[in-house]
Amino acid sequence: PARGGFLSPVLLGHMRQTLEKKEQSLLFLNRRGYAPLTLCRVCGHRFGCPVCSAWLVEHRFRGQLVCHHCGHNERRPEACPECGTLDHLVACGPGVERIAEEVVAHFPDARTIVLSSDLMGGVRRLRLELEAIANGEADIVIGTQLVAKGHNFPNMTLVGVVDADLGLANGDPRAAERTFQLLSQVTGRAGRTGKKSLGLLQTFQPDHPVMRAIVSGDAEAFYEREIAERERAALPPFGRLAGVIVSAATRAEAEGHARGLRRAAPQASDLFVLGPAEAPLSLIGGRHRFRLLIQGERRADMQGFIRTMLAEGPKMRGSVRVQVDIDPQSFL
């Protein structure tokens, strides 16, 4: 992409050709808002949530900075709150709103629709937007995972994935599988009525197994490789995983209780405990979070192990809370 842009010349060229053929394009980016981070170019101040360990996402259509974890929101200021400099705040990275802005700059006459859960006025509004797209009332659609499956757009012949790498670096052992499924669903939006169609992935990892599998269409080879890796690492479905999240009003309380649980873990030949360590999102809604990961063999008595650990460990007092997630779907 050109400096300051997020759409490559190749993608823009195919979008132009698609417009000339009176067909539709879809740009997919699974990130709501305008930009995931706002900072000051003078002092480097970054806008973070006051009660979560997360950056505030700029939603320019609403003029707000929003935390996507706890819902905290505030108006986007004109001046940096740290150094007071005016008009030097810069948005870093793209969300769907920013991609829409870039599309309008390149194709000012194109009819553009943005589909994102925070921009929808409920189910009825979403249904109307989807009907409008299916009826050919939009030339370019920009959307999050709302557009990934279950919709049939007869005239859509181009799908561009703006950031195909987005789901791969989150520490989740299922990240590759989930990214493959999502990208397969998204690229499958094009050419559903037999028209010649094209899917383009923008990626910094073209040799990643997920990208190779999407390009080749060889889902079977991808899943065979994924299964072999899971088996080698004894990850589900070949092993068991459990997450134990300890949260509290203070970091010391959360860490102390988590360490107490670790000491209380029973001896077992088929189960072992990793941690405690700060959870990837170490602060949510003003609560500090520490995580223990328990990994074991497929037939291990995970529930019994955890029951013993909780019974023998420190009792919950004050603000301490413990959450147990067997075979967790989220690793945040």
pLDDT computed for residue 122 by the predictor: 67
- On whether both 2 and 143 belong to a single domain, the answer is yes
- On whether both 295 and 275 belong to a single domain, the answer is yes
pLDDT band at 244 (very low <50, low <70, confident <90, very high): very high
User: Has residue 104 been placed in a domain?
Assistant: no
pLDDT band at 121 (very low <50, low <70, confident <90, very high): low
- On whether both 45 and 22 belong to a single domain, the answer is no
Global confidence as pTM: 0.89
User: What average pLDDT score do residues 167-172 get?
Assistant: 81
| Candidate from 163-172, 173-182, 244-253 with smallest mean pLDDT | 163-172
Predicted confidence (pLDDT) at residue 194 exceeds the cutoff of 80: no
Residue 120: which domain range?
1-31+113-233
pLDDT computed for residue 150 by the predictor: 67
User: What average pLDDT score do residues 271-279 get?
Assistant: 95
- On whether both 23 and 125 belong to a single domain, the answer is yes
Long-range pairs for 194-199: beta carbons < 8 A, 24 or more residues apart:
195/23, 195/155, 195/157, 196/157, 197/156, 197/157, 197/158, 197/159, 198/14, 198/157, 198/158, 198/159, 199/158, 199/159, 199/160, 199/161
> 60, 92, 124 — which closes off a domain?
92
pLDDT per residue as tens digits for the range 15-65: 999 999 999 999 999 999 999 999 999 999 999 999 999 999 999 988 999
**Average pLDDT value for the chain:** 92
> 174, 206, 233 — which closes off a domain?
233
- On whether both 224 and 261 belong to a single domain, the answer is no
Q: What is the CATH number of the domain that holds 9?
A: 3.40.50.300
- On whether both 219 and 163 belong to a single domain, the answer is yes
- On whether both 180 and 42 belong to a single domain, the answer is no
pLDDT per residue as tens digits for the range 282-324: 999 999 999 999 999 999 999 999 999 999 999 999 999 999 9
User: Has residue 99 been placed in a domain?
Assistant: no
pLDDT per residue as tens digits for the range 206-232: 999 999 999 999 999 999 999 999 999
pLDDT per residue as tens digits for the range 64-103: 999 999 999 999 999 999 999 999 999 999 999 999 999 9
- On whether both 139 and 215 belong to a single domain, the answer is yes
- On whether both 125 and 23 belong to a single domain, the answer is yes
Predicted confidence (pLDDT) at residue 118 exceeds the cutoff of 80: no
User: What average pLDDT score do residues 262-283 get?
Assistant: 94
What's the total number of domains in the chain? 3
